[in-house]
Structure 1
């Protein structure tokens, strides 16, 4: 079946769409080495067939949106533009082989991800909005050259970076979603969520707003804050509640997994739901089954 034939925004007006899960954990499960600053970008560079296989695993599980392996590829890499375009192409191939219609979302990770030191969970990089625009613009242009269906401006810790991304987006006219990473009802940089969401609420390019790579317990309060700020579709793709330790490059896993009250998320306006770090194809398959059209589950 070919890739999805209509804009993702049109689908979100009708129903809830299933996102994929964590790319890093799936690549690790496939035996890939993610060490070094590029993270999933290393596999994109050295073993691209494994990236396509990971996308295919999520498509088989029922994911309707595949997020590319471009999260941590920054303009400092000598082949950044080529890798960014490759990331879209690999996801598009997996989407084309899927049994269901599948959209491709080009991941635009935060500046802090390229530093590979956990800065995306802190924000406040000490850069101006103008400097962040200069960082993100060539990445976004390279991704758009490859023809994704939508941009995923994801794991954003700081409204200053959101402002920079929205500035670049306005120049392109491309559709995108924007998702913050949160803790304690604020962005990771400490901004109250209503203020952070309001920044993007008026952007015509933003087709959905929400949160990702956060504890599942953070999702519902964040969605409620977003729903009070905008009528746009909302999105949520949390991790499993683990906490990343950049000093040791390890996850600290909770004793018991947090529940995913998906019905409450949907009632609050979530129309894009999936998983982030440490959420694999099995979890996405369960989510896809719960979100299939029919009696609400």
Structure 2
């Protein structure tokens, strides 16, 4: 298992490259008294994984699901009797476009008017 300092970040790539470490970190948080875990899926979106990891839609979806499964696994491994809540971590899609649209709003150029109405109105 790699050392956390050797990883570029503890965002979604760790789900692929160091899943044992992700589970261990979740477990350590639980052991320290934490009652809330995030799924470590920040910036894990299908478009990014397809572009950077050459994944299919199904493979990318499986990585996102793996984030939840690893958190659940850590809860089971911890053996605690208290409730541990698990929340999905979803980063802004605009940052995946790498065009600064999270700051200037140009991401609306990539989505339909119908979706804009659903999300913003």
Residues 55/114 of structure 1: CA separation in 2 closer, same or farther (3 Å cut):
farther
Gaps of 5+ in 2: 50-54
Q: How far apart, CA to CA, are the structure 2 residues paired with 1:68 and 1:130?
A: 27
Q: How far apart, CA to CA, are the structure 1 residues paired with 2:112 and 2:33?
A: 35
Structure 1 equivalent of residue 89 of structure 2: 107
Contact kept? 2:94, 2:107, Cα under 8 Å: no
Q: CA deviation at 1:50?
A: 0.9
Q: How far apart, CA to CA, are the structure 2 residues paired with 1:104 and 1:40?
A: 16
Contact kept? 2:38, 2:88, Cα under 8 Å: yes
After TM superposition, the score normalised by the length of structure 2 is: 0.68
Contact kept? 1:52, 1:91, Cα under 8 Å: yes
Structure 2 equivalent of residue 49 of structure 1: 20
Gaps of 5+ in 1: 1-27, 136-159, 168-198, 200-297
Q: How far apart, CA to CA, are the structure 2 residues paired with 1:52 and 1:133?
A: 40
Q: CA deviation at 1:59?
A: 1.1
Q: Does residue 31 in structure 1 map to residue 2 in structure 2?
A: no
Q: CA deviation at 1:123?
A: 3.1
Deviations 1:217-236 (CA, angstroms, capped at 9, x unpaired) = xxxxxxxxxxxxxxxxxxxx
In angstroms, what is the RMSD of aligned CA positions? 3.5
Q: Could you tell me which of 54, 57, 66 is aligned with 2:37?
A: 66
The total of aligned residue pairs comes to: 108
Between structures 1 and 2, the one with greater strand share: 1
Q: CA deviation at 1:107?
A: 1.1
Q: Could you tell me which of 128, 131, 140 is aligned with 2:111?
A: 131
Q: Which moved more, 1:124-133 or 1:87-96?
A: 124-133
Residues 134/95 of structure 1: CA separation in 2 closer, same or farther (3 Å cut):
farther
Aligned-partner SS, 1:123? helix
Q: How far apart, CA to CA, are the structure 2 residues paired with 1:115 and 1:44?
A: 21
Residues 46/69 of structure 1: CA separation in 2 closer, same or farther (3 Å cut):
same
Structure 2 equivalent of residue 91 of structure 1: 71
Contact kept? 1:68, 1:91, Cα under 8 Å: yes
Q: CA deviation at 1:69?
A: 1.2
Deviations 1:50-103 (CA, angstroms, capped at 9, x unpaired) = 111111121112111100111111112223101001011001111223323201
Aligned-partner SS, 2:89? strand
Q: Which has the higher contact order (CA 8 A, sep 6+)?
A: 2
